[in-house]
C-alpha cells in the first residue's frame, strides 16, 4: 500500500504540498555591502517547510559563485539579483526585489 501525505491526503508520489508552499511564499532578494565593500546577494523569506540547502546549492551552481545558508536565508557572493530572480521565477516562487542595504 502506498504512503499517504498527512497534509493533503494524496499518495506521496502525487503530493502537491511543496508546490503549494512554494507558490504561497513571498521571497525577497536584496544586496548588501560586507567587509571591504564587497557585495552579497541575500535571498530570504522562505518557509521552514522548504529545503533551502538544496535550493542554495542550486543557486550557487547556476550563478557560479560561493555563498552560505544561515539563519533561514541564502547569501551569495556578488551581485546576482537579476539572475536569482529569473531562476526563482522558473521554480514558481513569488519574488520581490529591493535596493542595496549598506
Q: What are the two backbone dihedrals, phi and then psi, of residue 20, each rounded to the nearest 5 degrees?
A: -65, -40
CATH code for the domain in which residue 49 is found? 3.30.780.10
Residue 98 is predicted with a pLDDT of 76
Q: What is the pLDDT of residues 1-36, one digit of tens each?
A: 568 877 777 787 777 776 666 666 788 999 999 888
Confidence of residue 94 (pLDDT cuts 50, 70, 90): confident
Q: What is the pLDDT of residues 56-91, one digit of tens each?
A: 999 999 999 999 998 889 999 999 999 999 999 888
Confidence of residue 42 (pLDDT cuts 50, 70, 90): very high
Number of structural domains the chain divides into:
1
Give CA 34 to chain center in angstroms.
Answer: 21
Domain of residue 32 covers 22-101
Residue 21 is predicted with a pLDDT of 63
- At which residue does the C-alpha cell 504512503 appear? 3
Has residue 62 been placed in a domain? yes
Has residue 16 been placed in a domain? no
Q: Is residue 74 left, alpha or beta, with left meaning phi > 0 and alpha meaning psi from -120 to 50?
A: beta
Amino acid at each position: 500500500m502506498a504512503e499517504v501525505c498527512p497534509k493533503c491526503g494524496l499518495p506521496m508520489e502525487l503530493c502537491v504540498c511543496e508546490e503549494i508552499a512554494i507558490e504561497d511564499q513571498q521571497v525577497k532578494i536584496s544586496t548588501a555591502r560586507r567587509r571591504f565593500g564587497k557585495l552579497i546577494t541575500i535571498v530570504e523569506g522562505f518557509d521552514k517547510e522548504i529545503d533551502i540547502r538544496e535550493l542554495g546549492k542550486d543557486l550557487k551552481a547556476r550563478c557560479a559563485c560561493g555563498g552560505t545558508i544561515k539563519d533561514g536565508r541564502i547569501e551569495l557572493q556578488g551581485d546576482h539579483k537579476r539572475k536569482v530572480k529569473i531562476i526563482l521565477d522558473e521554480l514558481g516562487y513569488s519574488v520581490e526585489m529591493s535596493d542595496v542595504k549598506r
